[in-house]
Each structure stands twice: as structure tokens, then as C-alpha cells.
Structure 1
Amino acid sequence: MFSPWYAWSGRRNPADHVCINVATYGPGGRFTMTDRGASALRQTPDCLTVGPSSMRWDGGRLIIEVNEISSPPLVSRVRGRITLTPSALTGVEMPLTPQGTHVWRPFAPNAAIEVDLDARGWQWRGHGYFDANFGTRALEQDFRYWTWGRYPVRGGSTCFYDAVRMDGSALATAVHFDADGTARAIPLPPKAAMRRSLWMVARDTRADAGYQPKQIKPMLDAPFYSRSAVRTRLDGEETVGVHEALDLTRFRMAFLKPMLAVRVPRRARWRFE
């Protein structure tokens, strides 16, 4: 959805602009997002292949095989396997607009993850999740700004979605997911402002009244987007989760797409051996 090549194509054929985006954080972190043509795409009910990388279901596990080249300034190969084992899969779909042009799909809000990439220090096990967004229109056509956060808590995880749509209406939702995948809407804690990102993207999240959420680890910082690990407190429980802020007013600016093209190279042709 952030590919400049897809936007420049007039969004005519999404299958001709596919990628598997991988980002690692911390010392030596890498970012890979190669926009590939339709010849690189293969799909079956259990497997998605994009050029040299793939995602497939194997029993109750999602196995992601990575074989990509990272973008400047740290150009190198990122290769290995990521295995995600959900505690349960949900059937939840949440429309983000009244017309249903954008939908959030939290497939596995609670999961175990194992990362084994071919670089020193890029092997670990921990707590993860698997979700997706689907849409029939460009995000910047329907939204000005949004934040999203997912925080592990006792018995499962809690997600917050806050957005301002182009028509001025607002989305504000809190959902708790039990370990067995059961989802229920919960009362929204107060919104709490956070320090702006390095690119000065405005940020806020949800927290108990009087608590000040704080970024504890930067992940991805762009002129229109911020992803970070954030500490907050919910129902008296301190927790660290993944937080995103997306400024789509900035994303609409024409000069951003050429900047993105440096980080998102286009490789239109691919041949499977």
C-alpha cells in the first residue's frame, strides 16, 4: 500500500506490484521492500510466494522463508526463516470506514514467534502476532491520520485503533483478545499524547488516566510513519507493545514518492527456476 510504483501505475493491477517486506531493528537493522512484477507472484490456498521469499501454512504454523536484499544505506542479503505459531485464529473483521473500503483483520492476535535469520544476533524466540489490512481504495483517499497499538496483557492482548477520516469523522476502538481468540470490545482508556517521532510525526496511544506512555525502542521512522515499542499501563498493568502512527496528509505530498522509491526498488521481471 506504500509502494510508489503502484501509485504511479494508476493502481491498475495490484498483482503486478507485490513484495514481502522485512524489517529488523537495533544495531545492524535492515529494511527490505522490493516491488516485484506479476511474474514473481505464485499463490495457492496455503502458500504465497513472491520471488525468492514465501509464506506458507504448515499445520498450525505460519512459516515465512526470507531471501531479500536490503535497501540503502546498509545493502546486504537478509535470509532465513520466521515461524509464527498462533495460540488461536480469529474470525474477526473490523471495517475501518462506514463503506467498508478498509478492513482490519486480526488473524492471530496472540502467537509465539521464532526468528532464525542468517546474521549474528538475529535469532530469538518471543511473543508475536499476525494481522492484516485490506482495502479497495488508497489509504490516503479515506484517512488523514491514524494510530494503532497492540499490547500483551494478562490472558491475551489488547488492540487500539484510532483514526481521523477524510470527511472529519473519527474511529476509536479498543478490542481485547483472549488466548483462545475470543474478541470483545472494551471501554476505551483515555488518549495520551507521546513525544513526536524523529521525523516529527505526531503520536498518541491509550493509557490509564494520569499515566504517561513512553517509547522504549525506535523501530521504523519515516517522514509519514513511525513504528516503535511503547510502554503504557492498562487496568493497572504495565505492558510494552508495538505502536504505529501514520500521517497520511504527509504521505499525499508528491515529493515523498521519489524518496520512497530509493527504499523500495522496482524489479518488474522474475523467473522461477
Structure 2
Amino acid sequence: MTLIAFVGSVFSPYYAWVRRRGAADPENHCALNVALYGARARRWAMTERGRGAIMREPASLGLGPSSLAWNGRELTIEISEVSVPWPLPLRGRVRVVPTALNEIAFTLDAEGRHRWQPIAPCCRVSVDFDHPDLRWRGDGYFDINHGDAPLERDFQSWQWSRAATRSGAVISYDTIARDGADTSLALHVDPAGRLESITPLTEAPLRKTLWRVARSARADADAPVRVVNTLEDAPFYARSHLAARLHGEDVAVMHESLSLDRFQMPIVQAMLPFRMPRW
């Protein structure tokens, strides 16, 4: 399961169209993206909502009928959405309980316009859905990206991954900027929230997706990386479940590949409203 709350939805075609005409209000382009994967239920929702449907407070965010709230110990997400392309209900509650919080943010570009903060790289998650009928408890991850410019203006692409390990988690973040500069971040995080910068592991090329999005992952040089399942296969984005070996430990990896060259193509922008309706 993946949840993303957007204020100024970076992948919104409506937001992009407004920006082309001048200044745009990010709070007029918000969404809660819900993606469920599995044999019992595979659903997707990402309905964009305008300023009139948004409520922002220091510890809460309302997005139409859905909401997120932080009480100092855990994040609770109340979900009430409708999936696409088949209009099925998505209703339930997700609780994210960090083992510790991280206050360090990392800049992803030379100008400092884009920042990433792994708020809770290690956390416990509980999922209780009424529609579909799902219950789940397990390992989770919570981060934030924010910036002062459109992603496609400053980046060509990126590869990101996170793997739970016996000692915490390992995160890799590789970006290629518009000026051609490569940036690689590699972190080890323990359950107490202590971050340690580590040397990036060997880059392993992966097979392209059906949409021909390029993928690569970081892993030990002496062990192959296997694509277990491509969870999301879009014209400019892929989310994948990998099996890899990191620092001698066999792990399951959540991985994403983003092509911003693809994202800004006119034909891709014309396709997006079918996956991202606006109410």
C-alpha cells in the first residue's frame, strides 16, 4: 500500500496547465493518492480537489472527505475516496506509528529548490479498510518531498529505494538534474532514528517496464537484483517490489523510477486526467 498527500500536486496536469499561464495556487491542486496492491484488492485513487475542499491546520490536513492528523505520537489517515478507472469505494483508516522521528532534510539539487526529509524511516503501520475488506499490520515508511519549483524544470529522472533490514533501513536516492549532474544519497537509519550517510552500493540496471521506463537499483555487487513485481507501470513512473542483497543481507526493496522527460511530453499530459480526475 502507498499513500501520498499532495499540496500542489506535482503530477497534476491541471496544475501544470495553470502554471503555463502564470502564477498558480498550490492549495487549489491537492489530492490524496491511495494505491492498494494485492490479490484480494488492487485499487487506485487520486482525485484532485480545489481550495474550497481543503482544510489545513498545524497538525491536520483535510482533503475533501479524507483527512490526515498527527497527535504527537502517530499519524492517522482517514480515507474516503473513489477509485479509477472503475468507480469503487476506498474507505478505511491507516495508522502510522514511528519508532523515532528525524528532523534532518536533504537538498536534492545544487540550487536548494528541492528538499527531501525521511521523517520516519522505520515505523509500524496498521491498515483497517471497510471497502475493500482488508486488515493488515506491518513495516512502514514515512517521508516528505517539498520544493519551490516544478520537478520537471530541474530534474530529468530519479531512482529511489527503501529496504527494511535487521538493523533498521537502508535508503538510496539517485537523481539526474537538467544540467546532467548526478547526485547519489545513501543512508542507513536505525530504529532510534539515527541517520548515517553510507557509500552508495553498486548500481544494477533492471529491465525496463512495459512503458519502457528505465530502472536501476543499488545493491551488493556480487548478487543480482530481481524484479519481484512491478506494482505501478505508467508512462513516466514505475513502482516496483525488488529482491536484493544489501551489505550481505537478503532484503525486500520498495523501489520507484521517475522519468520527468516523459512526464512533460504533451501526449502523457493528455493521458493523466483519466487517472487523476478533478472534483
TM-score range, shorter chain: over 0.9
Task: Tell me the CA shift for residue 229 of structure 1.
Answer: 1.1
Match of 2:50 in 1: 37
Could you give the per-residue CA deviations for residues 98-118 of structure 1, whole angstroms, max 9, x where no partner exists? 111110111100000011112
Q: Are 1:55 and 2:68 counterparts?
A: yes
Task: Tell me the CA shift for residue 261 of structure 1.
Answer: 0.6
Q: Are 1:83 and 2:92 counterparts?
A: no
Q: Are 1:7 and 2:20 counterparts?
A: no
CA distance in 2, matches of 1:142, 1:257: 18
CA distance in 2, matches of 1:92, 1:121: 37
CA distance in 2, matches of 1:71, 1:136: 30
> What letter is aligned with 1:169?
A
RMSD: 1.1
Q: Does structure 1 conserve the Cα–Cα contact (< 8 Å) formed by 2:91 and 2:132?
A: no
CA distance in 2, matches of 1:196, 1:210: 21
Could you give the per-residue CA deviations for residues 165-206 of structure 1, whole angstroms, max 9, x where no partner exists? 000111111011111111010011110011111211111111
Could you give the per-residue CA deviations for residues 211-253 of structure 1, whole angstroms, max 9, x where no partner exists? 1111212221101100011111111101002100001111110
CA distance in 1, matches of 2:133, 2:24: 41
Secondary structure of the structure 2 residue equivalent to 1:259: helix
Match of 1:103 in 2: 115
CA distance in 2, matches of 1:120, 1:94: 37
Match of 1:162 in 2: 174
Match of 1:271 in 2: none
Point out where structure 1 has 5 or more consecutive residues left out of the alignment. 268-273
Task: Tell me the CA shift for residue 120 of structure 1.
Answer: 4.9
- Once structures 1 and 2 are overlaid, which stretch shifts more, 168-177 or 22-31? 22-31
Percent identity over paired residues: 41
Q: Does structure 2 conserve the Cα–Cα contact (< 8 Å) formed by 1:26 and 1:219?
A: no
Match of 2:3 in 1: none
Match of 1:195 in 2: 207
Q: Does structure 2 conserve the Cα–Cα contact (< 8 Å) formed by 1:151 and 1:158?
A: yes
Give runs of aligned pairs for residues 1-273 of structure 1, distance below 5 A.
1-10=10-19, 12-27=24-39, 28-72=41-85, 74-120=86-132, 122-267=134-279
Q: Does structure 2 conserve the Cα–Cα contact (< 8 Å) formed by 1:208 and 1:234?
A: yes
CA distance in 2, matches of 1:121, 1:52: 19
CA distance in 1, matches of 2:133, 2:32: 22
Secondary structure of the structure 1 residue equivalent to 2:131: coil
What TM-score, normalized by structure 1, do the two folds share?
Answer: 0.95
Task: Tell me the CA shift for residue 121 of structure 1.
Answer: 5.3
> What letter is aligned with 2:50?
G
Could you give the per-residue CA deviations for residues 61-101 of structure 1, whole angstroms, max 9, x where no partner exists? 100000001111x2211000000000001011000001111
Q: Does structure 2 conserve the Cα–Cα contact (< 8 Å) formed by 1:176 and 1:185?
A: yes
Point out where structure 2 has 5 or more consecutive residues left out of the alignment. 1-9
CA distance in 1, matches of 2:218, 2:91: 36
